Amino acid sequence: MKTTRTIPTIFALFAVLGSHAMASPDASLDARALNARWAEQAFSARPLAEQGGPVVGIPFSFVYDGKPSAALLPQWRAEQEEEAVDATTRRRTLTFTDPQTGLEVKAVADVFLDTPGVDWTVHFTNTGTKDTPILEKVRAVDIAIETPRQAAASKEAPMDAAKGAAPSVTGSDPVLHRLRGSFAGPVYDLGEFAPLDDSLPVGANISWGSVDNRSSFHAFPFFTLDWSDGGVVTAIGWTGQWEAAVERDGSRLRLHAGMRDLHVKLHPGETLRSPRVLQVYWRGGDQFVGDNLFRQTMLAHILPRVNGQIFYPPFAHATSSFYEANKTTEAIERSYIKSFKDLGFECYWLDAWWIKGGHPHGMGHWGFPITRGYDPVRFPNGVKPLSDLAHSHGLKFLQWFAPEEIWPGTDLAVEHPEWVMKPGPPGPIDLTNPEARAYMINYLNTVIKEWGIDWWRSDGGPSLSHWKSGDADPDRIGITEIRYVEGYYQMWDAMRQANPNLRLDNCAGGGRRIDLETSARSLSLWRTDGAVLTISKNAFDDTAILSQVSNHGLNRYIPFSQSGTMGATPYYFRSGFNGGITFCEDVRPADYPRELLKQGIAEGKRLRKYLLGDFYPLTKPTVSAEAWCAYQYHRPDQDDGVVFAFRRHESPCCAYQLNLRGIDPAADYEVTEARTYTPEKPRRIKGAELQRYRASIDELPGSLLLEYKKCRQPKNETTEK
């Protein structure tokens, strides 16, 4: 197989399909065609010279025996297979084999037919009889992008003779859109999951990645590259170390991402995998078109399902989490369930305080008999009676676990010290060890069934030092991380397979493990430990801002997530709502406004449907107490939507102009405002007025809920202004 280009470029592909903004009135259909055509060429075994039409190339790279894959793959044997996974997915498998060493490189790519996007993972297998040379610098995605607008501008712009540099594309520089990760910082910082926008002038080189080994700690593995007349959203699935970079050289952009610090030889018969990659390309000049096409694909193909259906985050009450903590008892937990059972909550949440020895030092009493795990004094009957009580009131049962963490002196640490990774304390259970992993899977599946667990809450995890300490061979750097991460996925998958109705909550000291792979298996019901800081201080306003900022940023990529919140009034409750709510306020006092909270939950259940639509931030991201925050959900197929607008507690402005998206200016809309939980009388207005809606909130702090729906049939009455 011979070629003159192996770094993929989509320049010619955009030229063939058209470089104008949104050629098709159906953006999704247009993007589906673009992504399918790209995948057809990117994952092709045919010699590129024979393909005809636009040339794309191989969208990943690596270094093997000191040589780049761009030089190696054209000389290796190439095979291509294609099959239909189901009615909405076509799978293409591209395999290269080195005839000298037997290294097999297999890329498995799923191309979606009903939404845009290509989802792939690369697998490396030693099919030979001896160790391979060193494999390193594996970039699960490595693409070059040259758009027509940039290329044309580059030809027109003069060369800077003094610097000898490539010409800059003045006024139309591409932009890298990404988010901060979760970092449990104070609200007066930039904010959890706050957007970061970086212009990419000629010569730009931006690199970023995970901090320690948590995939969404400080950095977030979803990002958007926008080059004015098109763009691509990329998501990385690797619950460990990852790194990404975007470079610009003249009119060409290069994007690559992969696992950090890999330097490994493979033993005969051994296989390792790359991080998972999902990409969605789109055309046009609107970043949020691309982000919403990506959301479509997340909803249709990535998010976990039960009985084939997407599930929302629950309206859950976190009971003793911020009150009794390690002093809670069965009787206290019963009192919580009794206090909220009739308010509309859907889930009873039992956090870390049930374990024997208390949190954190009791982490490690996992195993058999399962009765040894809970505190025998505070929970003499175990946790099953609490699960039964919750179920008797129509509530689901969520229970906290940290199965990866083992503290000294706990049962598992004493029985199987060989399963505890070093250094410590504490040390995680060694998920690279098949025996240890099988034991933990057996334990978890047993308690899930015996205790009637509906939501399994995962916390804790290893540190980078645990993984590095396992790499004793300098020619096997990174192998411990790979085997641990693979074992982590195997544990989650085994739990879901054995318990088809189980839902997973992904927490690791807050939302520090949110990536493509965990998002395919779980929801994050506690996306930031920043809420621990604000709720512990009884800081209602800071907690509300923390939730608003997280929704404002994270919802661009992740349709469902939430964190701890408190407050029954519309401003506080709506701030924490994002499909469900993790409520952390004690509602047992006699003077608690229970009826108000009940109304908030009922409103949230009614609004859930909108979260399946497109998402648009309507204000600039900020944690300022003087600002407004607003965002919109719009359902194009229903021609309706909802706007959440918040006037924060120090805002001097009682009105704000909202520039809504997806509105037909010539159509009539029925619009309903709600500042309290009681909606006002609906009004009929023109779409042009709705597009530039003047929102007013007198209360400080206060919120406005704006629901709208396009009128299907004209009415005779005069349109209200």
Per-residue pLDDT at 57 = 76
Residue 157 has pLDDT above 70, yes or no: no
- The confidence score (pLDDT) of residue 211 equals 87
pLDDT at 284: 86
Which of residues 142 and 721 earns the better pLDDT score? 142
**Do the beta carbons of residue 202 and residue 190 sit within 8 Å?**
no
Task: Say whether pLDDT at 522 is over 70.
Answer: yes
Asked whether residue 340 carries a pLDDT value surpassing 90, the answer given is: yes
pLDDT > 70? residue 163? no
Specify the residue for token string 């009455």: 717
Residue 618 · residue 660 · CB < 8 Å: yes
Residue 627 has pLDDT above 60, yes or no: yes
pLDDT at site 455: 98
Predicted pLDDT of residue 189: 74
Task: List, for residues 250-282, the tens digit of each pLDDT value.
Answer: 888 999 999 999 999 999 999 999 999 999 999
DSSP code of residue 523:
B
Give pLDDT, residue 152. 54
Q: Which residues pair with 617 in a beta bridge?
A: 631
Q: Which of 171-180, 198-207, 479-488, 630-639 has the lowest mean pLDDT?
A: 171-180
Spatial CA neighbour of 628 closest among 647, 655, 656, 642: 647
pLDDT of residue 264: 98
Question: What is the number of helices (H) and of strands (E) in the chain?
Answer: 18, 37
Considering Cα of 304, then 306, then 311, then 313, what sign does the dihedral take? negative
Q: Kindly report which listed range (148-152, 324-328, 662-666) carries the lowest average pLDDT score.
A: 148-152
Q: How many CB atoms lie within 10 A of CB 598?
A: 18
CA distance 593 to 574: 16
- Give the pLDDT of residue 148: 55
Q: How confident is the model at residue 719 (pLDDT cuts 50, 70, 90)?
A: very low
R_g (Cα) of the chain, nearest Å: 27
Could you tell me the end-to-end alpha-carbon distance of the chain, in angstroms, rounded to an integer?
A: 68
Distance CA 643, CA 637 (A): 17
- Supply the mean pLDDT for the chain: 91
Over residues 198-207, mean pLDDT: 96
Q: Give me the mean pLDDT over the 53-72 stretch.
A: 84
| Range scoring the smallest mean pLDDT among 13-22, 402-411, 412-421, 573-582 | 13-22
- pLDDT over 70 at 16, yes or no: no
Mean pLDDT computed over 463-488: 96
Mean pLDDT across 571-583? 98
**Can you give the pLDDT at residue 620?**
94
In this structure, of 25-29, 426-430, 685-689, the range with the lowest mean pLDDT score is 25-29
Q: What are phi and psi of 61, to 5 degrees?
A: -150, 165
Strand pairing category for 271-273 and 276-283: unpaired
Mean pLDDT across the stretch 412-433? 94
Q: What is the pLDDT of residue 160?
A: 31
Structure tokens at 426: 């504490």
Mean pLDDT of 467-472: 95
Give the model's pLDDT for residue 17: 38
Q: What's the whole-number mean pLDDT along residues 472-489?
A: 98
Question: 105: closest CA among 120, 77, 125, 79?
Answer: 125
Q: Which amino acid is at 249?
A: D
In the structure, what pLDDT confidence band is assigned to residue 389 with cuts at 50, 70 and 90?
very high
713 pLDDT higher than 90: no
The per-residue pLDDT for 169 is 31
Summarize the confidence of residues 20-42 as an average pLDDT.
76
Which pLDDT score is estimated for 716?
Answer: 55
Distance of CA 247 to the CA centre of its chain: 24
Indicate if the pLDDT at residue 158 is higher than 50.
no
Output the pLDDT for position 150: 53
Percent of the chain beyond pLDDT 70? 90
User: Looking at the predicted structure, is the pLDDT value of residue 50 above 80?
Assistant: no
Q: Are 685 and 671 in contact (CB under 8 A)?
A: yes
pLDDT of residue 68: 96
Strand stretches in 147-293, DSSP E? 175-180, 195-199, 205-209, 219-226, 230-237, 243-249, 252-258, 263-264, 271-273, 276-283
Residue ranges of the alpha helices (H) in 428-478? 434-451, 464-469
Q: How confident is the model at residue 657 (pLDDT cuts 50, 70, 90)?
A: very high
Q: What are phi and psi of 611, to 5 degrees?
A: -70, -10
pLDDT at 718: 44
